[in-house]
Structure 1
Amino acid sequence: MIYGIGTDICDIRRIQASLARHGERFAEKILSEVELTTWQMRSQRWPERGVRYLATRFSAKEAFSKAIGLGMRMPMTWRSCEIGKLPSGQPTIVLHGELKIWFDAKGLSAHVTVTDETDYAASFCVVEYSDKNRL
């Protein structure tokens, strides 16, 4: 059974402007430690790719926050929600701290997809009950 659905579209130019204005502090606010390392490596090799990476993570976290019905309020925080990837390359939600405890206590699981094209990054997230006994 579906718990919630969230979607988000993000203007990549807005993310680029925030990076220009606030520097790495902006990325540090949005990304987990693992994501930050990936962002730094991508940004060094190809700055545009780094901006796109940050935009897709921003968008996916927004979509997830909508799907769980909290928006950006506790226990949901930018850094407690990580967008990882499976060996196949499929994006996956990895949660940390209080958000993970809250999410697991509700018996939820999440599915996320991300995409980017020229000026926009978009994400879609479905959160469902993973334990049929919770219905």
Structure 2
Amino acid sequence: MIVGIGTDLCDVRRIEAALQRHGLRFVERILGPQERVVWAQRSGRCAQRGLRYLATRFAAKEAFSKAIGLGLRAPMRWRDCEILHQPSGQPAVVLHGALQRWCAERGWHAQVSVSDDGDWASACVIVEARNAPARAPLASSADTATPMPDEGEVRRR
């Protein structure tokens, strides 16, 4: 069962300005330990790749905070929510500390998608309850559609 959906659209230029203003402190405030390693690797190869990585993580964490209904207040903390890649390349939400315990108590699991293009980074998060009752299968369109009258029937009306 879906318990929350969150989206965020982030202006990469805004993240760049914050990074220029606050430097590494901004990165340390937003990214968790494993994300910082990836950010450093990407930034080392190309500053824009590091910037886009930071912007997509910022957007994903904003979207996650909306999906769980807390915004950015305890137990939601930037560094306790990491967006890491599985071996397949799919992004995944990895939680730590009080935030991990809070979500686990509710049986919640999150799915995330991130994207960036030009000056924009976006993210969408869906939070589901793992122990939700099974849903009935969706009806096919043939089961729910109102049949169209045939041509002869229309003329008779």
**How many equivalent residue pairs?**
133
Shift of 1:18: 0.5
Q: What's the counterpart of residue 110 of structure 1?
A: 110
Question: Which aligned pairs between 1:15-34 and structure 2 lie closer than 5 A?
Answer: 15-34=15-34
**TM-score between both structures, scaled by the size of structure 2:** 0.83
Question: Which aligned pairs between 1:92-103 and structure 2 lie closer than 5 A?
Answer: 92-103=92-103
**Matches of 1:128 and 1:17, distance apart in 2:** 35
**Matches of 2:100 and 2:91, distance apart in 1:** 17
**Matches of 2:60 and 2:36, distance apart in 1:** 15
Q: What's the counterpart of residue 54 of structure 1?
A: 54
**Matches of 1:14 and 1:125, distance apart in 2:** 21
Shift of 1:4: 0.4
**Matches of 1:45 and 1:118, distance apart in 2:** 19
Equivalent position amino acid for 1:74 in 2? A
3-state SS in 1 of match to 2:42: helix
**Matches of 1:45 and 1:21, distance apart in 2:** 22
**Matches of 1:2 and 1:132, distance apart in 2:** 9
Equivalent position amino acid for 2:106 in 1? K
3-state SS in 2 of match to 1:61: helix
Alignment root-mean-square deviation, CA: 0.7
**Matches of 1:41 and 1:128, distance apart in 2:** 32
Q: List gaps (5 residues or longer) in structure 1.
A: none
**Matches of 1:132 and 1:13, distance apart in 2:** 40
Shift of 1:132: 2.1
3-state SS in 2 of match to 1:20: helix
Q: List gaps (5 residues or longer) in structure 2.
A: 134-157
More strand by share: 1
Equivalent position amino acid for 1:102 in 2? W
3-state SS in 2 of match to 1:79: helix
Shift of 1:40: 1.0
What per-residue deviation string (whole Å, max 9, x for no partner) do you get for residues 5-26 of structure 1?
Answer: 0000000000000011111110
Q: What's the counterpart of residue 79 of structure 1?
A: 79
Which runs of at least 4 in structure 1 moved beyond 3 Å after TM superposition? Answer: none
Identity %: 57
Q: What's the counterpart of residue 6 of structure 1?
A: 6
